[in-house]
Amino acid sequence: MATQQGRHFLHIPGPSPIPDRILRAIAMPIIDHRSAEFATLGKQVLEGCKTIFKTSQPVVIYPASGTGAWEAAIVNTLSPGDTVLMAETGHFATLWRQIAARFGITVDFIPGDWRRGADPAAIEARLVEDKAHTIKAVMVVHNETSTGSTSRIAEIRKAIDAAGHPALFMVDTISSLASVDYRHDEWQVDVTVSGSQKGLMLPPGLSFNAVSEKAMAASRANTLPRSYWDWQEMVKINAGGFFPYTPATNLLYGLKEAIAMLHEEGLPAVFARHQRLASATRAAVKAWGLEVLCENPAEQSPVLTAVMMPPSHDADRYRKVALEKYNISLGSGLGKVAGKVFRIGHLGECNELMLLGALSGVEMGLAAAGVPHRSGGVMAAMSDLSESGRPAGNIAAVA
């Protein structure tokens, strides 16, 4: 591809663009990870993470991708031969299922069509049927990055309670944390899994487990082997602000800055901004005459929008044309929807003008690639943003 002037528009559903403040924080000189200076940093980020997960319980930080956090959740709570209940919401739910199976876990997988979130009623029905309580955990992806659908975690918690079932509740928030309202303690989640490269606006490389007392008790009784992922060792050493092995020091500097930025804007304002940008994106898709993959408006993601291509048109070819002509990266379709959808990310450091620039690239790309559509999507998005308004927020003083 020829060299292009101007900024690259990165609008995949993560990794998300990294703010300059975080880049500068990561650029700090390396320090001794056994020093008092590091202990102060460690305690700051470990406590700060609790405010983002909305928990008073431990949050464990690993140098790993989100896949590592998935594995940690499994090996600390389950034993070979255990049964877990999952819902097929998309590609990432399917991958979590595969990891569980590799550890000898039996997965009861509620089938889905990849166009909606997990069904609380279906989960409750399966749990009611499980009179012997053989199901040891319910595992749900909050925001399915491959499809742009969210699952109603509070309602699933109510479904588990209504069934009177003692299963652990595990939730993947890799693409929803710090972008979509989430409440680990209030919703009585036992293990929340997350990663650094989405709403936290960091590079890939940090993963997280927020752990309830019930999950911690399970980790003292289960029989799956672990060393690197062991919660017990981590929590013990984390108490002093340290880690049992060399931590990703400079990413922790970035994490400290990310937590500060989120609280400066205010988490409610962060969530409202994501909803506002998502609504404008869906207005553009409707004006183009295209279809959003997620069918239920109540479950459409604030983080990304998956757009279905017209029949006989390849989404990957379209993405290639848009990249080459307009320097915009859009997310590919994964798994069952490969080549059938493209995904527009509107998460992390993204505002109205950044979104409108991206949507302009999407619309011009549709024309350049010969994809049947109506014009006017960007205008529809502008109208939607004007109608939704923008609440007053903190305005930083200019030095």
11 DSSP β-pair partners: 330
Q: What is the spatial distance between Cα 71 and Cα 189, in angstroms, rounded to a whole number?
A: 17
List of long-range contacts for 181-186, beta carbons under 8 Å, 24+ apart: 181/267, 181/271, 182/53, 182/54, 182/142, 182/153, 183/54, 183/154, 184/53, 184/54, 184/55, 184/57, 184/210, 184/212, 185/54, 185/55, 185/56, 185/57, 186/54, 186/154
Is 343 within any annotated ligand binding site?
yes
Q: How many CB atoms lie within 10 A of CB 15?
A: 18
With residues binned 3-state (H G I as helix, E B as strand, rest as coil), the percentages for the chain, rounded to 5, are 40, 15, 40
Contact 61, 192 (CB under 8 A): no
Q: What is the spatial distance between Cα 216 and Cα 97, in angstroms, rounded to a whole number?
A: 22
Give the residue numbers of the binding site for substrate.
343
Residues that constitute the known binding site: 343
